[in-house]
Chains A and B, each alone.
Chain A
Amino acid sequence: MNPEALARPAGTAIARAFRLAFRLTIGACLALSAVTFIPKILYLQPLLAAPDTAARGTLAADERVSPFAAAGQVKWRREIALRRAAGKDAPSGQALAWRFFFDHRSEIPPGSRVFLARANEALYQYGNAIWFPSRLEVAPHSEVPLADGEDLRREAAHRTCAETDWLRAQGYSACVDAVGAELRLVRVAEEP
């Protein structure tokens, strides 16, 4: 069928109604997309002003700053907005975790094993990705598939970073713990 013939506007009332509906909806689509694009343009400014990769990554991981960080997560965006409205605008846990592992990546010898004293899904997965090929573990020599936070909590060895003898005996070179909202890297000292 000839495309031009098909594209020729038909004259019936229904055809005119459909045509108008399409024009209005396409206009709404483009207008709404343009509105959501404005924060992305504005977001370039702090990104460009950030002094280094660590600072840019912290912005990018922060759901309150980056217009991309909570994409598709309607409930999470609503929670962030409610917290902000209530004046309880806590720092982003995701940004804190990313920054911690990124900042300490050069201190972890490649191929070493690090104990994670807090069995947290985000910390475990961020740490193992950013510190690869080193390993972050919640228990030594676990053979159970660790698919999510529940598995991690069930399998965790429940030891602290203060138990240096145990950590050393298990072959860990360092330990990660969370004190309040702050993450700490504790080196396991070599025996004299």
Chain B
Amino acid sequence: MIFLAEELLAVALVATIGFAAILLVDRGFGARRGDRGLALAAALPLGIVVNAALSLPFLLAGKPPTLAGATAVAIAFTLAALFALHRRPAPKPLEMPASWTLGEKLAAAGIVSALAVLGAIAVLEPAVEWDLLAIWGYKAKVLLAGGDWLARLRDPAFAYAHADYPLAWPSALALASTPGVGNVGGGLFGVVLLASAAAFGAAIVRPWGRRAALVAAALIVMLPIAGAQAVHSLADLPLATLVLIAGGALARWTSAGDRSTLALGALATAGLPLVKQEGIALALAVAAIALWRSAHGTRRRAASFLSAAFVVIDLPWLILRTSLPAGAANSLLDMTPARAVAGLSRLPELAALLPVYLGASADWGALWLLVGLALLVLAVRRLRGPALSRSTTDLGLFLVAPTPLYLGALLAAGWEPARLAEVTLARLALHFALLATVVAVSVAAQTGAFGIDPSKEKS
């Protein structure tokens, strides 16, 4: 029970840090009326990023992450946010929502129940997953032990733990873990992250009605591979959640010019390289689309937000990373264009494996069929109008833009395609899956798939 209380406290502290940071950044960049719902949904994922960025100088000074330290940061950030918001204009008044139908109430209850089941399993299961133990949990223990943690990371005996993998997820896990020969926590982080992703996804499609929002949340929470990653505290789920936040927030910026969502999107984009090394490719693609799709005259502002977030969040880690040895096979350094071109002969085999792995209903339900349909409709409506909304088109672009980089990495990887698919394909696909769900529901809503929404009729 003590362990559970510690983990709950760790989740609450990181979420508080994230929420206060969003409000501060919002205010710092002059946004007038941020969307509190989006900020709340993004609190934990962005808290993980901010916590890692703040922890790094302390780690370098020999101070391991502790709950007491996180409490002090959470209090300082909350006080600063309260002070900064003192003279802020009142937030947008909330619309009076129309009453919920029985079906909507049942759907919401189902989503909460599914999260409760996953939460119970996460609490009951100790850390057992191989990658969690060997990489993320091991690093959490190294950070928690303090001392010369960099020497431990560089130790060739632990090359399998990838010294150069980023530290955001281990920094969060360390707060939920017991020092010494203790267990590694994190299952609750995973399940609350899944809930955050569902809430954020629902908020992004909410303009299309409550039914669309509920369907998006249900699809995310019930996605089998996402539930497994949540329970096992793996790093792909936080990365996927940040991809969703970056794409969702920046699509609002490019379509509606909302400065607070630009700040949110810039923070999430900068967080990507701090969670997994694939995040570098994702951040580059997302930033490129955000700049391309920013409205005329606002591109410089988007560039300044994205650059500022990159310098503050990523640069210290990327500098430190140059002093760490590249880990095992398939490190970022191996992923060169020349190797990708040389690996083109592997394309047919990889292409044959894609439907096997992405079509596995035990992992995906029928998600990729739905996403394929949505992208088809998006393309058809783009060519033969009426076009879908600009925000949906931009969501689709944020989803599609990084895929050539991922394909290049798969071609450049040293492993045989069959082994590569078994070990990595589901994880890599998860990076896109949450944003893909939101794109699919957004497109479906605009074809009238959810009918005339009662909440739209009455509000």
A interface residues (Cβ-Cβ under 8 A, vs B): 1, 3-4, 6-10, 14-15, 18-19, 21-23, 25-26, 28-30, 32-37, 40-41, 43-44, 47-48, 50, 53, 56-57, 60-61, 66-69, 71-77, 94, 98, 102, 105-106, 108, 110, 121-122, 124-126, 128-135, 137, 142-148, 151
Contact = CB atoms under 8 A, between A and B. Distances in A.
B160 A148 contact: yes
A137 B128 contact: no
Contacts of B445: 7
Given A29-B367, A143-B156, A10 B448 contact: yes
A1 B381 CA distance: 15
Interface stretch (B43-51, B193-201, B225-233, B288-296): B225-233
A96 B171 CA distance: 29
B76 interface: no
B422 interface: yes
Contact of A68 (B158, B232, B389, B452): B232
A15 B381 CA distance: 10
Contacts of B215: 26, 30
A138 B285 CA distance: 42
Contact of B389 (A1, A14, A25): A1
Nearest to B390: A1
Majority DSSP secondary structure for residues of A touching B: helix
Contact of A131 (B181, B223, B446): B181
Contact of B159 (A29, A69, A151): A151
Given A56-B124, A105-B181, A144 B365 contact: no
A110 B444 contact: no
A148 B114 contact: no
Contact of B448 (A8, A61, A75, A98): A8
Interface string B426-440: 110000000000000
Interface of B: 114, 117-118, 120-121, 124-126, 128-130, 133-134, 137-138, 141-142, 145, 156-160, 180-181, 183-184, 207-209, 215, 218-219, 222-225, 227-229, 231-232, 325, 327-329, 356-357, 360-363, 365-367, 369-370, 373-374, 377, 380, 386, 388-390, 418, 421-423, 425-427, 441, 443-453, 456
Given A3-B207, A18-B377, A71 B229 contact: yes
A36 to B, nearest CB: 5
A75 B370 contact: no
A135 B157 contact: yes
22 contacts: A7-B209, A7-B456, A22-B373, A23-B449, A25-B369, A36-B361, A40-B227, A44-B117, A44-B120, A60-B126, A60-B128, A68-B231, A68-B232, A71-B232, A71-B426, A72-B228, A72-B357, A74-B363, A125-B134, A126-B134, A132-B138, A147-B329
A132 B390 CA distance: 52
A6 B444 contact: no
Given A25-B366, A26-B449, A128-B138, 4 more contacts: A25-B373, A57-B128, A68-B231, A124-B160
A147 B327 contact: yes
Nearest to A8: B448
B389 A6 contact: yes
Given A18-B447, A26-B370, A36-B362, A130 B219 contact: no
Contacts of A14: 380
A135 B225 CA distance: 33
Given A30-B365, A71-B224, A72-B425, A7 B157 contact: no
Nearest to B212: A7
A9 B448 contact: yes
B422 A74 contact: yes
Contacts of B218: 30
A46 B430 CA distance: 29
Given A4-B456, A21-B373, A75-B422, A129 B138 contact: yes
A37 B137 CA distance: 27
Contacts of A10: 386, 447-448
B208 A146 contact: no
Contacts of B222: 30, 33-34, 37
A142 B444 contact: no
A110 B447 CA distance: 62
B365 A36 contact: yes
Nearest to B427: A72
B137 A129 contact: yes
Contacts of A56: 124-126
A7 B426 contact: no
Contacts of A18: 373, 377, 447
Contacts of A25: 366, 369-370, 373
Contacts of B183: 53
Contacts of B377: 18, 22
